A and B are shown apart, each in its own frame.
Chain A
Amino acid sequence: MAADTHARQIAGLDALELAPARRAGLLTRAWAGTWPVALAVALVLAAWELVVLAGWWPEYVFAGPLTTLTELGHRLGEAEFYQALTVTLRRAVVGFALAIAVGLVVGALVSRIRPLRRAVGSLITGLQTMPSIAWFPLAILLFGLSESAILFVVVLGAAPSVANGLIAGVDYTPPILLRAGHMLGFRRLTLYRHVILPASLPSFLAGLKQGWAFAWRSLMAGELLVIIANRPSLGEQLHFARELADSPGLLATMIVILVIGILVDRLFGLADNALRRRWGLHQVTA
């Protein structure tokens, strides 16, 4: 009897202490996320139109939003655009994937092996601050005007961020979790696999996000510089739009590049939010 009351008392306390689940509906959240973006876009378009109306540049040098968006609409209907998009995205995916692989291996080694950390730890951060475009002359010398040259620079641009993300995550693993893992019988590799790696996930994800931004920039620089015959790409379109003084085409391509960058960043943002929600790191609103 006493044991029963006891259990019920505990259950009662538990029920009282659990916060009721409270999350706004999908539509409310979607709207809350959309209207500021829509407003920002409208403001940018308005400012753009104002600059064009001011007449500082002739229309064929700096096209207005309406002309540009019409041109963009045309391009979205053409096969050539999608060929260029495919080439660019394939390079981005392959380059980023390689960068992740390299960053993971380097990050894992550097975070675990102390002398290696002293040797190359600051070098990795140094690499990160090096503008990727500065690598291209060397890359072109080494690989010629080829896919490899582009890939080389994309990987060099993104891998340090990925590695640093992992290293920071390992460094900031809460000591209490390390001790808990140790007490549960995990040592060295098993501790690494079951405690340290999962604990570093948020930081690693932040590294991935930053790595993507670097990869995307490097890729665009690469496509502007390394133009390969018969292989249309977004960067190449940008290059020729300038050569041909095709202002609407140039701006339309820039918008595409911007939008892709934002969309992928959003994906990382979603992953980050999902992770934070699972871990209970903060209340998510977006």
Chain B
Amino acid sequence: MTAPLTEQAGGRVDGQQPAVRLQAVSKTYGQGKASLLALDNVALDVAPGEFVCLLGASGCGKSTLLSLVAGLDAPSAGRIDVDRRRIALMFQEPALFPWLTVSANVEMALRAKGLGKRERRARAAEYLEIVHLGGFGRKRPHELSGGMRQRVSLARALAQDADVLLMDEPFGALDAMTRDLLHDELERIWRERDLAVLFVTHNVREAVRLGDRVVLLSSRPGRVVEDFPVTLPRPRRTDSAEVAEQAGEITQRLRAEVMRHGAAPNRVPQEATPDGP
């Protein structure tokens, strides 16, 4: 059922060009004694149209990994193959521009592409419709709820018309009911648009609910511990017995990983983790 990922990297995609490929990627922060190894020799492939969830406790470098793939930061070693022009990133926070209306925020994604104003507006309205916010284009971000803002953020990411969507705990700050609904939304959009999604979370059920694969990372340094395929039929429900069962299995593995750190506290650097927002 599970196997160390390093041995099967590339094997899963059978000759098809992966949308994202990480080979022996490491990331070190700082220098000398104060240096912190955030990611260690990570290999990971995401096939086109595949939904991969990255799971790990805090300090496992999940966010670091996304930053590297997004090109916001450079790896210390290794290779990342991805078409950066076809990539969108959604953050933990909505990261909307407060001086713009909701519509104009989405339009920002189209502005960089050089579309005209009228075209931008029409397209933004379409994307807002996709996330069920059709009537809210003229509002300002602060007038919306947290879940709505995160949907605007999703609409903005979609408007980039990317092939790869990177998501950094995008629903972490939302209440359970809103999150459930957004899972359904995301799943629908992912299928309709045939996106490759790399979804970072520390919520095991969320990972099983959404992913084709759940990749478990260890903490400090972040290494790929195990790669769990999720073959449950879609659409899944977060509260279903099947999801709970597989989540339980993964949680046990995650617990073992976390306990390993408790056993050898001296080996764990106490610096602030770079895995912050």
Contact = CB atoms under 8 A, between A and B. Distances in A.
A154 interface: no
Interface in A1-41: 6-7, 9-11, 13-14, 17-18
B112 A179 contact: no
B166 to A, nearest CB: 9
Interface string B136-176: 00001111111110000000100010000000000000000
Range of interface residues on A (Cβ < 8 Å): 20 to 34
A interface SS class: helix
A279 B177 contact: no
Contacts of A186: 112
A114 interface: no
B72 A179 contact: yes
A144 interface: no
A179 B91 contact: yes
B224 interface: no
Given A6-B184, A176-B277, A278-B99, A184 B132 contact: no
Contact of A183 (B72, B177, B277): B72
Contact of A184 (B109, B148, B184): B109
B139 to A, nearest CB: 9
Given A10-B181, A280-B142, A17 B148 contact: yes
B148 A279 contact: no
Contacts of B111: 184, 194
Contact of B141 (A7, A201, A280): A280
A47 B221 CA distance: 71
A58 interface: no
Contact of A177 (B87, B97, B145, B147): B97
B152 to A, nearest CB: 12
B90 to A, nearest CB: 9
B113 interface: yes
Contacts of B87: 183
Nearest to A21: B143
A173 to B, nearest CB: 11
A17 B97 CA distance: 21
Nearest to A182: B72
Interface in A156-199: 176-177, 179-186, 190, 194-195, 198-199
Interface in B81-104: 87-89, 91, 93, 95-100
B42 interface: no
Contacts of A18: 143-145
A183 B145 CA distance: 24
Given A7-B132, A13-B181, A184 B147 contact: no
Nearest to B96: A180
A199 B99 CA distance: 8
A112 to B, nearest CB: 20
Contacts of A6: 181, 184
A17 B140 contact: no
Given A17-B145, A18-B143, A183-B70, A198 B99 contact: yes
Contacts of A10: 132, 181, 185
A17 B144 CA distance: 8
A33 to B, nearest CB: 23
B186 interface: no
Given A6-B181, A179-B72, A184-B160, A280 B91 contact: no
A231 to B, nearest CB: 43
Interface string B102-120: 0000001101110000000
A174 B113 CA distance: 24
A10 to B, nearest CB: 5
B178 interface: yes
Interface in A40-85: none
A198 B98 CA distance: 9
Given A11-B132, A184-B108, A198 B141 contact: no
Contact of A280 (B72, B98, B112, B160): B98
A11 B108 CA distance: 25
A199 to B, nearest CB: 7
A187 B97 CA distance: 16
B91 A185 contact: no
Contacts of B96: 180
Contacts of B100: 198
Q: Which of A17, A185, A201 has the most CB of B within 10 A?
A: A185
Contacts of A17: 145-148
Contacts of B177: 13
Contacts of A180: 91, 95-97
Interface of B: 70, 72, 87-89, 91, 93, 95-100, 108-109, 111-113, 132-133, 140-148, 156, 160, 177-178, 181, 184-185, 277
9 contacts: A6-B181, A14-B147, A17-B145, A184-B160, A185-B113, A186-B112, A194-B111, A199-B97, A278-B99
Interface of A: 6-7, 9-11, 13-14, 17-18, 176-177, 179-186, 190, 194-195, 198-199, 201, 278-281
Q: A-B pairs with the 8 shortest C-beta distances?
A: A280-B142, A185-B112, A17-B145, A180-B95, A279-B98, A183-B89, A198-B99, A176-B95
